[in-house]
Every structure is written in C-alpha cells, then in structure tokens.
Amino acid sequence: MNRDAMNCETVRRNLSLFLYDELSLEEEDALQSHLESCQGCQAALASEQAMHRGLDRLEAPVPAGLLVQCRNGLRSGLREASAPARKSIWQSLWDLPLLLGPALKPMGAVALVAVGFLGARFLPTSVPGVQADTPAAKVRYITSEPDGSVRLVVDETRQRTLTGSLDDERIRGLLLEAAKDPANPGLRVETMDIFCKRGSDNEEVRTALLQALQHDTNVGVRLKALEGLKPFAGDVETRKALARVLLSDENPGVRAQAVDLLVQQKNVDTVGVLQELMRRESNDYIRLRGQRALREMNASVESF
Amino acid sequence: MDETALIKAAQQGDQDAFEQLVRSYDQNVLRLAMNLLRSPEDAYDIYQEAFLRVYKNLGNFRFDCSFHTWLYRIVTNLCLDHLRKRKVRKEESTVVETSEGPLDRMTTVPEERVDGDPQRKLLSHQLKERIQNVLTDLTPRERLVFEMRHYQGMRLRAIGEVLGTTEEAAKNCLFRATQKMRAALGDFV
C-alpha cells in the first residue's frame, strides 16, 4: 500500500490494526503521514483509542481463589489419571519381560539386576527425623541402551514421617495443603483440630480456617474451623465470614456455633445480620440467641 | 531449568517438572477462559480439561512448534467447542442458574465507576447490554482472535499458528471483530 492510497476511508478502516501494531511498516508510515495533516482522522484515532481503553476495562476478572481451586482440582485429576496404572516397583519389574516381549527378555533380566543393584546403592537408608518406607513406584519410561541394558524412569511415592511444630514452615505448608485435600475429609478434620490447638496466632492458619468455614463441603470440618476461629472472633474478616455462614450454611449446628461466636461481642455491625437472621431462620435456638443479642444491643428484632 | 528441559523431564514422568510447566502458563489460560466464557464454572472446566489433555498427550509433543502454541491449540479448541455449543443452545443469555439462585454473568464485568450519577448509571447499564449483544454477534472464531490479541497480547502471527491459519486470515478476523465492536459501542466509549 503506498502513501497516496491512504485516503480517509482506508485510514479509518485501519486505525484499530494500527493501535494493535499490526500494520506493515509501509502501511504504518502511510497512515501516520495522513494523520499529520487530517484533523478528522486524528479525531477518529482519539475515538478509537477511547474504545480500546473502554474494552480494557471490560476484561472479566478471575475471581479470587479460582486459580487455587483450579490447581487443586488439577492435582486431584492427575492423581486419578495416574491411579489405575499404579503398581509396586516389584510388580512393574515382574511384568517387564512380558512388556518387552520374548526377544528382549535378556534385557529385562539385565534391568532387574541393574535396578536391584542401583536400588540397594542409591535408595536412602536413614535420614535424621525421617523414616523411609518401601516406595510405591510406577515405570514411566523405558529405553534400550546400546550396551544391551535398559534404562527406566520410575515415579516413586515414598512415605515419610515428619515431626515438628507449626512454627516449622515445612510442616505448616504440608498441613495447609492437607486442609484443602478434597479426597480426604478425615485428614481435613484432623488438620483443623491441630490448627485449633496449636496455630492460634498464625495468619496463614487463620486464612485456612476461614476458607474451610466458608467453603468446605464437610460439616465436621466446618465445625472444627469454627472452633479454631474463636480467638479471632473480634476481627473484621472473621466476623464477616461468621455473618455469611450464619445466613447461608445449610447445617443448623454450624449456624448455632456461628451465632454464639458472633454475639460474643456486642457490635453494631451485627444488628443488620441478626435482623436478617430473624427473617429467615427457622431453628428455635438460633432465633433465641439472635433475639437476645438484639435486645441486649437495644435493637429492634425486625428490620424496617 | 529452561522450558525445553522442563518439557523433556515432564515427558519422562517428572511430576514436579509438569507442575512447573503448568504454573508458567495457567494464569493466562484461566484469564483467557474466564474472559471468553464469562463463567467461573466454565473457566474451571476448561482449565482442568486443557491441562489433563496436555498431561495425557505430552509424550506426543515433538517440538515441531512452541509449547505455548501447542498448549493454546488445545485451550482454544476447547473454548471454541464450548462457544459453539452455547451458540447452538442459544445459551448466551446473561442469566445463569447457580446453586445460589439466578446469577447475571455480566456482573463479572467490572462496572465503570458511576459515582451515584443516575445518568451515568443508566449509560453503564446500557453499555453492558450492548457489549453482551456484540459478543453474541461475533463468531466464536472472531471472539477468540479478539481475546487473544486484545487481552492476551498475542501477535496475529502467533494467533494464526494457534488456529492453524495464516496471519492474514487472523488479521481479517480481528478486523471484522473490531468493526463490529466499533459499530456497537462507538457512541458509548
């Protein structure tokens, strides 16, 4: 496209591609040259820029926590995707000659010897504070080496026992992961229990308790999380979470504990929540607690 | 470890390498899915399906193109399928049913600050409606090209590679998309 071909119509058709920096150098030169001498097209460019800025504002934000949920979901998905094929290393090695076929049986035999030798040599014996058990393993990848041996890449799941306090970042990190393990509610309850007893002053622990209270599908976990949040009953974030749970949790036991915790401190920010509670709650105990708290705060039981 | 080494390690079953690979790209993949589908549930599904496919097919990746291109082919194919199904089901209504009752998907679009001015509030509401209409008017392919260029900042050449077409075809697609946007939103922005 030469410079002379850039009339107003062509310039305006190309303004968007110009802003995306997707014109050829020749087209860009011609367009800029036209713009210098055409006020109408300068105004059109300003309008196009405004539209681009407007579109920038329309990007749908990724909701907080969605990325973490996605990553956790993927971990579970990957576990499921790998699970059916999981065998012990000895079972995998037992199957190896069959997998490789009769012609490669000698290689399989070499592999068995090689892995036995390497296993004895390299598998860790003992690490202070850590007990190593027999690893579960799965053969991932097999290649034949020129010297007749076989090279195996093996996934190993090794159980270890770790001991330490919640001040230990590694221990705390593992517990925070366990608190989100979707496949094991028992583990989540245990984790919440530990957080209740030992983690009262840690910010990460408080966040995990708040998450569990509001999003865990298991009632036992939510009740434990409530117990763990008692020391934080005065802070704003916890009170907001308690209010949400009080008005939306399907379990009356959870709502009862939430109301108890929420009304411990007579705070005007709870009046609206409690009035709303009166409107929608059917459980007598919870209604009674709400009414009493409203009376103590000299507030009306009903909202207007 | 550079990306090639990470991919090779992941191909040989190294789970940590696979996770690192995922983390290099997953935020942008989620942004793309969220912005295209405007539903956290659908974006979640796309994320899971895309990376599980990557996991299952990584052994077949032969470095014929960049990993980014290969991954985005998977993601965009899933998004295109989703958008086309929506078109067929005429599901572009802004209101979706959720466990907490009906939810307007357009509430995920940040509203321009209107500072309580009723006139501006009305305009903002009308703008949302117009955007929803114009998004429905774009073909799934136009929408995808627009999303990748405008919000992901990808060059048209790379978009063409992802979609298995030429840079020129991608440019035409973007051109059509922006023309439709301009026609629908011109007097609002």
pLDDT of A166 higher than 60: yes
At A220, give phi and psi (nearest 5°): -60, -40
Whether the CB of A288 is below 8 Å from some CB of chain B: the reply is no
Does residue A25 carry a pLDDT above 60?
yes
b/e sequence A196-227, b meaning 16+ C-beta within 10 Å = beebbebeebbebbbbbbbebebeebbbbbbb
Query: Considering only CB atoms, which chain B residues are within 8 Å of A20?
Result: 149-150, 156, 174
pLDDT band for position A40 (cuts 50, 70, 90):
very high
Res B88: pLDDT = 64
Residue contact B35–A59, C-beta within 8 A: yes
Single-letter amino acid code for the residue at A281: E
* pLDDT computed for residue A101 by the predictor: 47
Q: Is residue B66 pLDDT above 50, yes or no? A: yes
Contact check, Cβ <8 Å, B34/A60:
yes
**Which residues of chain B have a CB within 8 Å of the CB of A55?**
150, 181, 189
Are A61 and B189 inside 8 Å of each other by CB? Answer: no
C-alpha–C-alpha distance, residues B77 and A238, integer Å: 42
d(CA A24, CA A30): 10
- Integer Cα distance of B156 and B171 in angstroms: 6
pLDDT at residue A87, as a whole number: 46
Q: Which residue of B has its CA nearest to A153?
A: B12
Looking at residue A136, its pLDDT comes to 62
Distance CA B100, CA A186 (A): 27
Q: Which two tokens stand for residue A168?
A: 């230990």
Query: Does position A64 have pLDDT exceeding 80, yes or no?
Result: yes
CB contact under 8 A, A48 and B182: yes
* Euclidean distance between CA atoms A246 and A242, whole angstroms: 6
Residue of B nearest to A73 (CA): B48
Q: How many CA atoms lie within 13 A of B182 on its CB side?
A: 18
Residues of B with CB under 8 A from a CB of A: 11-13, 15, 18, 22-23, 26-27, 30-31, 34-35, 38, 40, 43-44, 47-48, 51-52, 55-56, 108-110, 112, 131, 149-151, 155-156, 171, 174-175, 178-179, 181-182, 185-186, 188-189
DSSP string, A191-246: HHHHHHHH-TT-HHHHHHHHHHHHH-S-HHHHHHHHHHTGGGTTSHHHHHHHHHHH
Q: Would you tell me which residues 184-203 of chain A have a C-beta closer than 8 angstroms to some C-beta of chain B?
A: none
pLDDT confidence of A97, banded at 50, 70, 90?
very low
Instruction: Give the model's pLDDT for residue A180.
Output: 84
Q: According to the model, what pLDDT value does residue B124 have?
A: 65
Cβ contact (<8 Å) for B34 and A66?
Answer: yes
Degrees, nearest 5: CA angle B28-B33-B2 = 25
What would the mean pLDDT of A23-52 be, rounded to a whole number?
92
A51: chain B residues, CB-CB within 8 Å: 181-182, 185-186, 189
Q: What pLDDT, in 10s, does the model give residues B14-27?
A: 999 999 999 999 99
Percent of chain A exceeding pLDDT 90 equals 19
Q: What is the bridge-based pairing of β-strands B101-104 and B95-98?
A: antiparallel
Which of A184-193, A266-275, B166-175 is most confident? B166-175
Q: Which among B120, B152, B138 is positioned nearest to B182, based on CA atoms?
A: B138
Give how far the C-alpha of residue A163 lies from the chain's centroid of Cα atoms, to the nearest Å.
Answer: 26
d(CA A7, CA B51): 48
Q: Structure tokens of A292?
A: 């009493």
Count of CB atoms situated within 10 Å of the CB of B162: 24
Nearest CA in chain B to A53: B189
Instruction: Tell me which range, A220-224, A237-241, B102-106, B155-159, is most confidently predicted by mean pLDDT.
Output: B155-159
Distances from the Cα of A147 to the Cα of A96, A144, B10, B103, angstroms: 18, 8, 26, 65
B167-185 vs A8-19: helix axis angle to the nearest 10? 100
**Rama region for A21: left / alpha / beta (φ>0; ψ in -120 to 50; rest):** left
d(CA A132, CA B147): 50
Q: For residue range B93-143, list pLDDT tens digits in order.
A: 444 444 445 544 444 444 444 445 565 566 666 776 777 678 778 999 999
Task: Name the closest residue on chain B to residue A70, using Cα atoms.
Answer: B44
Give the number of other Cβ atoms within 10 Å of residue A298's Cβ.
8
pLDDT at A253 (0 to 100):
86
A132 phi and psi angles, rounded to 5 deg:
-100, 130
- Res. A185: pLDDT tops 90: no
Contacts of A71 in chain B (CB under 8 A): 22-23, 26
* Contact flag A58-B44 (C-beta cutoff 8 Å): no
